[in-house]
Amino acid sequence: NAGVTQTPKFQVLKTGQSMTLQCAQDMNHEYMSWYRQDPGMGLRLIHYSVGAGITDQGEVPNGYNVSRSTTEDFPLRLLSAAPSQTSVYFCASSSPGGIGELFFGEGSRLTVL
Amino acid sequence: GEDVEQSLFLSVREGDSSVINCTYTDSSSTYLYWYKQEPGAGLQLLTYIFSNMDMKQDQRLTVLLNKKDKHLSLRIADTQTGDSAIYFCAEKTSGATNKLIFGTGTLLAVQP
């Protein structure tokens, strides 16, 4: 079972460069989300989506774009990377209802120089 | 607003009990969760409690919920070195989505 797959696992960018973090899930989950993890700050929600074609902002959306053209994929785009975006990024998905358990990818570590 | 807070670090000896605490602010939360993150990995659900419960026990894990004080705790009995990890408290916000708000995480270090 693949579950939630994130790529790349590691990336180094220069300030001002753009890139896309990929996230794909094979569990037919309608809900998908992106978090960033920083020391002492826990996980903070960047963007989320309740289904294809629907996205919404989380706690820290500035500097990030998302789209949801299919149920399976939820890419996170950094249009102009800044050092403040150095972090570990996690994609997570869940099915509607139930206990709302989130299934996480293994994370993408991004360094912006 | 929604905010979930935890202490950052806890150190215990192998075989002792560990208690990790969490406070939250959204009184309309429906579910509260404990997730575990091992080094270099994503988070995995450890246990959860529905908001109308006071306590839930699952093998070595005991979750206590005090809704009046908005306080959640996780007790791990007979803590083992394999329990060393970061533990996150999370709340499911009110509404139809599965949006979870996570705490800052508590690093549990188990000394042999």
A41 contact partners, CB below 8 Å, separation of at least 6: B104
To the nearest whole Å, the CA of B75 is away from the closest chain A CA by 20
Q: Are B32 and B49 in contact (CB under 8 A)?
A: yes
Interface touch B105/A94, C-beta < 8 Å: no
Between the alpha carbon of residue A51 and those of residues A70, B46, B62, the distances in Å are 8, 26, 35
CB contact under 8 A, B98 and A58: no
Q: What is the pLDDT of residues A12-30, one digit of tens each?
A: 999 999 999 999 999 999 9
Q: In terms of residues, how long is chain A? A: 113
List pLDDT tens digits, range B29-56. 788 999 999 988 899 999 999 988 999 9
Q: Which of A65, A74, A77, A70 is nearest to A102 (CA)?
A: A74
Of A43, A96, A101, the CB nearest to B102: A43
